[in-house]
Chain A
Amino acid sequence: MNRRLFKERTLLIALYSLTVFGCLVLAVILATVITRGGPALSGTFLFEEARNFGLEGGILYQIAGTLILMTGAALVCLPVALGSVLFQTEFLHSPPLKKIFRLLIYSLNAVPTIIFGLIGYLFFGVFLEAGVSWVTGVLILAVMILPTLHVSIHEAVESIPDHYREAGLALGLSPGQQMRAVVLPQSLHGIITGTLLGLARAAGETAAIMFTATAFSGVRLPQSWTEPVTTLQTHILVLAQEAANPIALTNAWGAGLVLLTLVFILITATLWIRSGLEMEAER
């Protein structure tokens, strides 16, 4: 019996250390980015444009570029994701078709982001003649975050209790009225969390936009449909490749800190909304 107890304890300690180690990774990332990026931050860094290939000045237009791309992507993606979820839940009644639809969305989620960049450039850059521009970037990111929004909204719609729908049907609502009066209001939290997660994913993406939507220096706000932007992600990418230069590296960490803060605010908001809902459900 003692041997069993000993084994039980040792294994439990092993499990705890593996888990603590996993969570430590997050702490290490946060600590590194904050300690190394902190010194770069200042009023001028945040609110001035980059000069001398990112060695001087700040990251104002990089921040603006990241915000433009992620907001644009979410705005383009949201109606499509919403529509396809509603079609799947309200009109698609045959189980095998539902299964196939789900599998297609999950597969889209697994596609490597660089492939969205390659094919997205062909479609939006070449065929739509948008070239290397912010519009191409927005459209590529919109396709990329589609599964994120879709899955989140779908979960919310699926969790609407049946009697809500039955009440709607009993009132003789058409499918369109049913969507507006019952489904959309009741799945609002899923729409919000899905959009926030999508924004976070778009903000963190580099590979899909680095050769399709961005330029490194001399770029401000886009003045037309076909101009590139500059973003935090690609700014870090270029500076990181000059890792031998300490000033470049410090500015890369500074931009990294801003990017990480942005992404973590979005994810924390998602977690907060979700945990609030869970507490409500327990009451």
Chain B
Amino acid sequence: MNTRSLFPERGPAFWGTGFTALIASGTIFILFVSLVIESVPVFKTQGVSFLWGTDWFAGEAYGALPMIFGSLMVTAIAVVLVFPFALGSAILTSEFLNGRLRLMVKAAMELLAGVPGIIYGLMGIALLTIWVRDVFGLIDGNTLFTAGLLLAVMVLPTVMTLSEDALRAVPGEFRDTALSLGLTRMEMVLKVVVPQALPGLAGAVFLGLGRAMGETIAVMLVIGGIDRIPQPWFNLFASGQSIPSKIGREAAEALGFDLQWSALIALGLVLFVMVMALSLAGNLLLRRAR
């Protein structure tokens, strides 16, 4: 197939828009390639042990494992906490509410999605860390759990809105058939609509996970900022560190070209790969649902 049949007309409009389209679609590759190139120095000096080293001392050793662990942990906490709320409100909005109420819930979610991360961070540092400390009787409220809790609130609108889309994408005939068989509305929802929308719901969760994993500023302020894996590892009420939080804390001092900068970029690469995997899986599942 020659390109002329793909793009029959080639006026200035074609070249102009084509150029901007190239920028828009090429950016993601530029990001990936830059991350790879800039992280070469640290992989050269440390080898792949960068990925499972547990010590990070700027200038001496760079080990990413505590940050990788922290990221996975806070993301897991967030998704466990947010799922019942997101699914519950998505089911209610899509299947039981109509007209004004539905619009109101949707508008609330849009506003919630727009609250800047730094506001969540401020609420976290001024209120949430103190609540967590007092409620669970801790010495320090800056824990993995606090960060997970904050992230759960932050990704609620994402997971809820996408779940609602997935539920509404189930064709009306399925509902009519279920009702005509004598199921109640709730039985219809739980036994027909939700199972049908399952891939879409999974997609919503994956995209929510991706959002949570990349969130920087709010997590940075409440996670404690200590580069270690808690003892024992499932201790949620210990301080930790996530990848974006680590980058956010050290990027300003490492700005430039030494090994610490390269190590931070390598952390960014690890984060990028994990988030892209989640996002691709999520988008494919959502596409299947439609």
CA distance A203 to B34 in the complex (A): 26
Whether a CB of chain A sits under 8 angstroms from the CB of B58 is: no
User: Which chain A residues border B107 with CB–CB below 8 Å?
Assistant: 271
Known: A174-B13, A243-B125, A256-B119. A112 touches B6 (CB 8 A): no
Whether a CB of chain A sits under 8 angstroms from the CB of B48 is: no
CA distance A267 to B119 in the complex (A): 16
Contact of B255 among A90, A110, A121, A249 (CB under 8 A): A121
Say how far A167's CB is from chain B's closest CB, in angstroms. Answer: 18
Say how far A107's CB is from chain B's closest CB, in angstroms. Answer: 5
Q: Could you give 28 example pairs across A and B, Cβ below 8 Å? A: A12-B186, A15-B89, A18-B85, A22-B108, A23-B108, A26-B112, A32-B127, A91-B18, A105-B24, A107-B276, A110-B275, A111-B272, A111-B275, A114-B248, A118-B265, A121-B255, A122-B38, A176-B11, A204-B117, A204-B119, A206-B121, A236-B121, A237-B118, A240-B125, A241-B125, A241-B221, A252-B126, A275-B103
What mask results when residues 111 to 148 of chain B are scored 1 for a CB within 8 Å of chain A, else 0?
11011111101110111000000000000000000000
CA distance A233 to B121 in the complex (A): 11
CA distance A91 to B8 in the complex (A): 8
Main secondary structure of the interface of A (DSSP, over half): helix
User: Which chain A residues border B28 with CB–CB below 8 Å?
Assistant: 104, 107-108, 111
Whether a CB of chain A sits under 8 angstroms from the CB of B27 is: yes
Contact of B118 among A15, A116, A236, A243 (CB under 8 A): A236
CA distance A88 to B117 in the complex (A): 32
CA distance A190 to B16 in the complex (A): 21
Contact A111 B214 (CB under 8 A): yes
Whether a CB of chain A sits under 8 angstroms from the CB of B21 is: yes
Whether a CB of chain A sits under 8 angstroms from the CB of B60 is: no
CA distance A31 to B122 in the complex (A): 14
Whether a CB of chain A sits under 8 angstroms from the CB of B224 is: no
Contact A84 B252 (CB under 8 A): no
What mask results when residues 193 to 232 of chain B are scored 1 for a CB within 8 Å of chain A, else 0?
0000000000000010011011111000100000000000
CA distance A26 to B106 in the complex (A): 12
Stretch at the interface among A40-48, A52-60, A257-265: A257-265
Contact of A8 among B84, B115, B185, B216 (CB under 8 A): B185
Q: In this complex, what residue of A is CB-closest to B130?
A: A243
Whether a CB of chain A sits under 8 angstroms from the CB of B247 is: yes
User: Which chain B residues border A281 with CB–CB below 8 Å?
Assistant: none
Known: A22-B156, A150-B24, A207-B216. A11 touches B118 (CB 8 A): no
User: Which chain A residues border B103 with CB–CB below 8 Å?
Assistant: 275
Which A6-22 residues have C-beta < 8 A from chain B? 7-8, 11-12, 14-16, 18-19, 21-22
Contact B92 A260 (CB under 8 A): no
Which B168-185 residues have C-beta < 8 A from chain A? 184-185
Known: A8-B185, A233-B118, A236-B122. A14 touches B88 (CB 8 A): yes
Count of A-B contacts judged by CB separation below 8 Å: 262
Contact B13 A175 (CB under 8 A): yes
Known: A18-B92, A19-B93, A236-B118. A112 touches B216 (CB 8 A): yes
Contact A267 B110 (CB under 8 A): yes
Stretch at the interface among A75-83, A158-166, A219-227: A75-83
Known pairs A86-B13, A91-B7, A204-B119 / 18 extra A-B pairs, C-beta < 8 Å: A12-B186, A19-B88, A21-B85, A80-B20, A87-B20, A94-B6, A107-B279, A107-B280, A108-B24, A108-B28, A114-B244, A143-B27, A176-B13, A236-B122, A241-B125, A252-B122, A256-B122, A263-B114
Q: In this complex, what residue of B is CB-closest to A11?
A: B186
Contact of B111 among A5, A176, A264 (CB under 8 A): A264
Contact B92 A19 (CB under 8 A): yes
User: Which chain B residues border A266 with CB–CB below 8 Å?
Assistant: 114
User: Which chain B residues border A113 with CB–CB below 8 Å?
Assistant: 214, 216
Known: A94-B6, A237-B118. A112 touches B265 (CB 8 A): no
Which A22-72 residues have C-beta < 8 A from chain B? 22-23, 25-26, 29, 32-33, 36
Contact A233 B116 (CB under 8 A): yes
CA distance A107 to B255 in the complex (A): 26
Whether a CB of chain A sits under 8 angstroms from the CB of B30 is: yes
The 9 closest A-B pairs by CB, nearest first: A112-B214, A83-B20, A18-B88, A204-B116, A176-B13, A110-B279, A207-B216, A87-B17, A87-B21
